[in-house]
A and B are shown apart, each in its own frame.
Chain A
Amino acid sequence: MDLIRRLFTAALVAGVLSGTAASVVQQATTVPLILEAEKYEVVTPPPATAAAPTPAGTPATSHAEGHQHGPVREVGEGVPVTLDEAMQRIGLTIAANLIAGVAYALLLAAAILLAGRPVDARRGLVWGMGGFVAVSLAPSFGLAPELPGMAGAELELRQLWWLSAAAGAGVGIAALAFARNRLVIAVAVLAAALPHLIGAPHPESAEGAVPAELAARFVTASLGSAALFWAILGSVCGWLMSGVVEPAERHPALRVQPGAR
């Protein structure tokens, strides 16, 4: 139980610190772009189309239902207009960032523990960069970070592809870092490459309502803030895990048996 408590404490602290830092950076970089993009988000008017099973913002639907190009969004729908609404929205975003931070920190701390190698803040930074490559860079290689109002394929397909790209990249990085068996490394690298070889799901026509300049700025802002988030998460996680994973650790749970091929 003591191990669990210390593992969770490390993840909690690392997650809260990185989530807080991400919140500050996001409010200055990505969130203004999201709010700007929502002005272009095409919303089908709800009273006119009572039977509208398709999600809002599907350009093909609005096109078929009456040529509603450009911003037809009602002011006040989603976009905060009062100070209370703005504060609530910021508060919820911070809460979500903290939860995301703790969630990723738990997964990273578990990986550090399973690897059974000594860590400190500097090695933690390398772990964090691995996390960044796995869950930020690799999925973004196929599915660019998207703004509201951008055209996208079916959500479930994109979520599935995102997960497989992130998991594959994580397995690939872990194998390159720790595995000794060449077959294991080859299979893991293939797992990392496979989602990209199959290809990410994209809409048939990429005709989103958001200006391309805005979308381009959002991609770099999203990746940049994610890199900072992971740098802090990894460093703090490594620092706090240094007392948990000790150099004397003799039985790493994750060890590829030599000569297994």
Chain B
Amino acid sequence: MPSMTARSINTAAAGSAARSATQTAVAAFAAILLGSFLLYGVGFAQPQQIHDAAHDARHSFAFPCH
């Protein structure tokens, strides 16, 4: 329902009932995909510049760094 705003869906009792398992799976998959990509970049990617930029954060979050 593109015409409905987020708020109206939020207050509508039928909001989640209308939601299909597919929508839930797609949203969760998108979040997992982007989350994994960001986590790889900040915690694991080894190009020198990325490593140097994230260096202190990696150590603080206990990622293997060097």
Contact = CB atoms under 8 A, between A and B. Distances in A.
A154 to B, nearest CB: 10
B62 A96 contact: no
B59 A148 contact: yes
A106 B32 contact: yes
Q: Is the interface of B mostly helix, strand, loop or mixed?
A: helix
A26 B66 contact: no
A251 B22 CA distance: 10
Interface residues of A, number: 62
B56 A100 contact: no
Contacts of B2: 1
Contacts of A105: 35
Interface of A: 1-8, 11, 22, 26, 30-31, 34, 55, 57, 89, 92-93, 95-97, 99-100, 102-107, 109-110, 113-114, 116, 136, 139-140, 143-148, 152, 155, 158-159, 162, 218, 222-223, 225-226, 243, 245-246, 248-251, 253
Pairs of residues from A and B, 5 with the lowest C-beta to C-beta distance, nearest first: A106-B35, A96-B57, A145-B62, A103-B38, A158-B64
Interface of B: 2, 4, 6, 9-10, 13, 15-17, 19-21, 23-32, 34-39, 41-44, 46, 52-66
